[in-house]
Each structure stands twice: as C-alpha cells, then as structure tokens.
Structure 1
Amino acid sequence: MKILLIMDPGIPVPPPLYGGHERLVHMFSEEYARLGHEVSLLAGPNSHISGKIYSFGKNDLKRGNWQKIKELIYTWFFLLKKAKDFGLIHNFGRLAYLLPILNNDTNKIMTYGRTIDSKNIKLIDRFKNKNLFFTAPSFDCISTNNQYGSWARVFNAIDFSKYTLQTKVDKVAPLIFLSRLDKVKGCHIAIEIAKRTNNKLVIAGNISEIYHEIEYFKKEIEPHIDGIQIKYVGAVNDIEKNHLLGQSKAMLFPINIKEAFGMVMAESMACGTPVIAFNKGSVPEVVIDGVNGYRCDTVEQMIEAVNKIDKINRIDVRKDSESRFSSKVIAGEYLNLFSSTRVQEY
C-alpha cells in the first residue's frame, strides 16, 4: 500500500533535537516501510525518510500567520492532485489540511498528541466525510472531545533500540525526574520525596524561558541542588537519557496536569525503570500498578511507593512496555483501524 504521512513545517523530520511528533512521524514512516509499504512524507525542509519526500513551507516555529496560510493552500493543492495515489493518508499536522479530501475514498487518519479543540472537530463533522479516523494516545485525551467523528486510542510509540534494559540497579541508585522544569511538572515534589526517603535525585530537563517558570526554578529547585543528593544535569540527548534512566531505581512523575501520554514514562519503562506517578491524565492507562510502577494520589503514597520499588521486576517492566509501546505494535494498530477488527476503538 502507498502511504502518505503529513507533518507541519517548523521542525524537520526527524528533529535534530526536541520534537515529539516529528520523532513519531519519522518512526512510523520507517516502520510502515519495514512492513512492506511504499511511504512518502509531506513535511518541512530538510526532512528525510527512507521513502519519498515532498518538502513544503518553512522551518520556523515563530513563522507568521501568512506563512501558515500559504502552507495550508499548498497542502490543499497537493492533496487534490495526489490523494488518489495513496491508500492511506496519515496526518500528524493541522486538521485543516484534510478539508479538500474529506469525502475522498482514501483512508485517512488524523492523529492528535495533545488536548483536542472540539470546535474544529465539530466543524469538520458537519462536512461530508468518509474513511476518516481520529486518534489520540489516551482515552483521557479522547474524552476532551469524542462526541463527533470516529475515534480510537492508539498509544504513542518509542524506538526501543535506543533504550537498554538494566535488570538490576544498586540499592543506592538515584531516583530520576526527567521533564521540562515547569511547576506543573512537579520537580519540587520530586525533590521533597527524595529528601524524605533519603534518596539521591537526578533532575534532567530544560529550564523554561517564561519569566514565572524561571522564578520557580530559582526559588523552588535551584536552592536544593547540592550536586550530591540533588543533582541537576540539564537537558539531555537520547544517549544520555538512556544512561540516566537505566541507572535509576525509579522515575518520579508527580505531574499536576492531565498529560495526553507522557513519553518519558514509556522511555523509562523501556530501560526497565518503573514509574511512580500521580494518577492523572494518561497515567491510569500507562502505569499498571504493581507491574511497571505505582499510581499515587498523594505525596505520602509516593513515599510509600519509593520504599517498596524493589518489589517491581525490571524485566517485566520492559516486556510490558515493549508489548504496548513499540513502533511495530503501534504501526500495526494504525493500519488495523480500517480492517474489520478495529483496535482500541472508543
């Protein structure tokens, strides 16, 4: 089958540094190709995959509205001309890209990775459309707007070849907090838990450029960093991430918002490192209590979870994550959406 993936310009595919959706697009393009499909990609300049590239737009996250309008018009003309050439069009970009082909016979998937704008879905649902599936990485995310259209939960995926299972860690191994250092992510709570359980804590992630988040870092995180018990290593690349996750006894995920998926949880589990998380957003769907980590409602419960983390089998953590979050499994779920046996339909 001929498959077209679409991604907004702004960051190339794959991304040189940060870019969650761009990483997913590249991963699925390669996985679809490994499964024997002929894959093309419509994305920003300097993108590359094993298949054919159609470049458009401008790689600039701060590009203006006029530039985005030009990109939209380009995509419309491209799809009006080319849509019939593909058996599946998988869109990770703007929903508006699909407007000219909503009623086209081609199978179409619109994938969301964050909170969904119900106004856009409602508007699209008023148009004649067929062979269109909406997907999101958790039922919690879908619940923000599932009253219009056909929806399915399909988890996000990670590249397991980048993560090494560590079957054992030292008793004095640290805890780890891996995230952007915004207050809602809960780094200050991770610090509290590390101190109250007498554990070391490694903090990895970038500091926001927003003023109040900088103040949060200076007042609630930086004073605790001593380089001994509480260590801050900054933003990390994939190699560093694999090393830090693998040497940790558990990841702390004390998030105070509903996150659509939480890729770092899957990355931690790929190294065999269990996750201790607040029971919000996608956490009830990702963390299986007592199998790959613990779900908690309070700081006290997190402290209890840290003290019994050695009851979790790290080999089982990796096995479970690979069975649910590998690119091969998730690519298969996407391709099965239009078969007679739909997976995870909501």
Structure 2
Amino acid sequence: MASKQIKMPSSQHLSIVQVISNYPNAQPVPSIKGGTEKVVYELTEELVRRGHHVTLFAARGSRSSARLIPYPKGLKHHQIPQYVLRHMPAGTQIIHDHTFRSALRRRKLPCPSLCTVHLPVKKHGKNPVYVSKRARQLMGGGKGYYVYNGINMHEYEFSSEKHGYLLFMGRIIRNKGVLQAIQVAEQTGKRLLIAGPIKAPVFFRQEIQKRIQRNPKISYVGAVGGQRKQQLLKHAECLLFPTLWEEPFGLIMVEAMACGTPVLALPNGSVPEVLSGFPQLICKSVSQMAKKVQQKNYPSPAKLRQYVTQRFTNRQMTDKYVRLYRKMIQRQEQGKRAPKV
C-alpha cells in the first residue's frame, strides 16, 4: 500500500460501519453471484473474528456475524446516507463505504470515512481505496490507496485432478472476452464450458449462441454458484480470462488458482498484478493464448493455491484495511488536537 503503517495497539478494537449498495437488483450478503458482496462479507466476517465491533448495512436477506441492519424495501441509492446516519451506532469510529457511487461522499459525517471503488466510476468519496494499482492509476490518477480483494481459502476446494476442459466464467458481455474464449476453443479443438449470467442478450443470441450451436465441444451451462461453481473451477484444465477492458480486479482469477486451476489471461486491467507470480500465463493475443493451451506448460496446482494463500486471502485484505482504518482515525484525532491559528 502507498501509505506508511500507523503503529497503534493491536488489541484496540474498533467500532466500524460497513455500507454496501442497495441498488434495484441488490444482492444479499454474501452472494453467490456478486463479487463485491462476497468481498464485503469476507471483510466483515474477519473483522468480527478479530473482535472489532462491526455494523453492516446491506440488502434484505443478508446474513452476517456483525450487527446487521437491512435496508427497508424500496430504499433508493440517494436515501442511503440519511438512513445510515439515522441508524448508525453511537461511538462509531470509522465508516467504510462500499456503495458503487460512494453514496456518503457529500454528507458531513461524525467520524472518518473511506470508500472502496469496486467499479470504474468517476464519483469517489473521501479517502478512495482501489482494488489494484492499475485501478488507482486509471481512476485515481495515482492518488489514494489500493487493497487487493481477498478470499476465504477454506471455501475453495482444491483438486490436482483435471478433466480436460477449458472454462470461461463471468458475465456474458462483450468486454469480458467470452467471444475470444470461444476462438481459443475453436483454434485448439478443446472442449469449452461457458458459465455466467447473460447480461447482453442480443450479443449472446447473435454472436455467441450460433457459434455454440456449430461446435458440439462448446457448451453454455448457465449462471452457477455454490457447489456447481466449485466443481467447474477445480476440475478445469484452465480458466480463460481474455478480458478486453480495464478490469479493476477480476476475482475469478484468484478463485480458480485457489482451486489449483491455472489462468490464461490477456494483459488488461489488473491481470499483470494478479498474475505477477506467473508471467508465463499472461498472453499477448488470442492466438498466443491458444498456443499456450496446446503447450500445457502450467504451474502445478499446489503452487497456484500456495500463491493465492500468500497474496490474496481475506486475512491479508483485512490487515490492510485495519491499518487504513487506524490511520484515518489517528489523522482525525491529530487534527482535533492541533492548535487553532
């Protein structure tokens, strides 16, 4: 991270408010579909395990070990600040805003705050935290902080046994690179499974479905979660991640490697950071990706899982956020003590 670590007593438990979006199709926390909801859940649970006092504002139907305050039915995005401030516990020391447009950014708050920029939006709150160096560079002009997303390793099943299929897993939209994944399958003659919700129906119908129908080795298996997702990830020969846009993080890459499955990716967005330990998995083009599929020169499943354990766990993510929380709190305390000029 960009900031120096602030040394404060590690035994000091904080009072933290976590706020997540309540948009029309909000997912409860945790969610088998939404990556942001999953990350917020893991952060919240780890904070509670460490003894911090956490209040989570989230969509109805959420579950958490923290004090959970669900949004009322019909609450709009612009109403979130008023609702949070009205129900926030007394003595709150820090507010962590995870809403996609930083809902609390314009409000005068009774305590320090920071906002994680999960998606590429222009409206950032105070003390923005990006989910990769690349995201901080593009969206924050190099200012602010970055903390990589982390996962709970106990939730990901490891397997060294692979079943010889390629896997694409993500939203079915053009920029995610599903068409490029199909091209890799076509060039290699490999079996390809495509998993994910169809978010661009016209694109799917006109460009994806026809190619699937022409090739019996390519299958669309729908949106997946839970045990089905685990099975697909851990037994895939390789996950294809040919993203075409500046993806802020790309959690599925980490999830696949945690299961012992290699990832071949185009060098866009956070890919060079997430795969920095395995530069041989980064591809300059679809043709090179196809060539690497045929060569099968992959790191061992055990090395892939170890790599995630060392860099992208919920514990490491929480360590960095707690350091930031303490820095913001200490900064405000120092400001209060500063003599007036």
What band does the TM-score fall into relative to the shorter chain? Answer: 0.7 to 0.9
Q: Percent identity?
A: 27
Report the equivalent of 2:199.
208
Residues 171-190 of structure 1: pairs in structure 2 closer than 5 A: 173-190=164-181
On the 8 A contact 2:97/2:114 being kept in 1, the answer is yes
- TM-score norm. by structure 2 comes to 0.82
Q: Is 1:5 equivalent to 2:11 in the alignment?
A: no
Report the equivalent of 2:113.
108
Report the equivalent of 1:284.
272
Distance 1:319 1:337 in 2: 26
Q: Is 1:134 equivalent to 2:128 in the alignment?
A: yes
Question: Shift of residue 300 of structure 1?
Answer: 2.2
Q: Is 1:302 equivalent to 2:309 in the alignment?
A: no
Q: Is 1:321 equivalent to 2:315 in the alignment?
A: no
Paired AA for residue 89 in structure 1: I
Q: Whose relative contact order is higher, 1 or 2, with alpha carbons under 8 Å and at least 6 apart? A: 2
Report the equivalent of 2:324.
337
Distance 2:278 2:80 in 1: 47
Q: Is 1:87 equivalent to 2:93 in the alignment?
A: yes
Structure 2 vs 1, CA of residues 165 and 134 (structure 1 numbering), >3 Å: closer, same or farther? Answer: same
Report the equivalent of 2:83.
74
Distance 1:74 1:146 in 2: 28
Distance 1:14 1:24 in 2: 9
Structure 2 vs 1, CA of residues 40 and 331 (structure 1 numbering), >3 Å: closer, same or farther? Answer: same
List per-residue Cα deviations over 1:148-187 (Å, max 9, x = no partner): 9x511111122322211112435xx111111122222222
Question: Shift of residue 233 of structure 1?
Answer: 1.5
Distance 2:153 2:97 in 1: 23
- TM-score norm. by structure 1 comes to 0.81
Distance 2:28 2:307 in 1: 28
Q: Secondary structure at the match of 1:233?
A: strand
Residues 193-232 of structure 1: pairs in structure 2 closer than 5 A: 193-219=184-210, 221-226=211-216, 229-232=217-220
Paired AA for residue 90 in structure 1: H
Distance 1:303 1:242 in 2: 24
On the 8 A contact 2:212/2:218 being kept in 1, the answer is no
Q: Secondary structure at the match of 1:135?
A: strand
5+ long unaligned stretches in structure 2: 1-13, 328-341
On the 8 A contact 2:166/2:191 being kept in 1, the answer is yes
Question: Shift of residue 244 of structure 1?
Answer: 0.9
When the two chains are superposed, the root-mean-square deviation of aligned CA atoms in Å is 2.5
Report the equivalent of 2:137.
143
On the 8 A contact 2:172/2:200 being kept in 1, the answer is no
Question: Shift of residue 14 of structure 1?
Answer: 1.5
Q: Is 1:261 equivalent to 2:252 in the alignment?
A: no
User: Which of the residues 100, 104, 109 maps onto 1:97?
Assistant: 104
Q: Is 1:38 equivalent to 2:45 in the alignment?
A: no
Question: Shift of residue 197 of structure 1?
Answer: 2.2
On the 8 A contact 1:174/1:199 being kept in 2, the answer is yes
Question: Shift of residue 147 of structure 1?
Answer: 4.2
Structure 2 vs 1, CA of residues 331 and 224 (structure 1 numbering), >3 Å: closer, same or farther? Answer: farther
Structure 2 vs 1, CA of residues 263 and 311 (structure 1 numbering), >3 Å: closer, same or farther? Answer: closer
Report the equivalent of 1:129.
none
List per-residue Cα deviations over 1:208-255 (Å, max 9, x = no partner): 354344322333x333441xx222221111211111111111111112
On the 8 A contact 2:80/2:103 being kept in 1, the answer is no
Paired AA for residue 88 in structure 1: I
5+ long unaligned stretches in structure 1: 125-131, 341-346
**Which stretch of structure 1 is more off in the superposition, 68-77 or 314-323?**
68-77
Report the equivalent of 1:158.
151
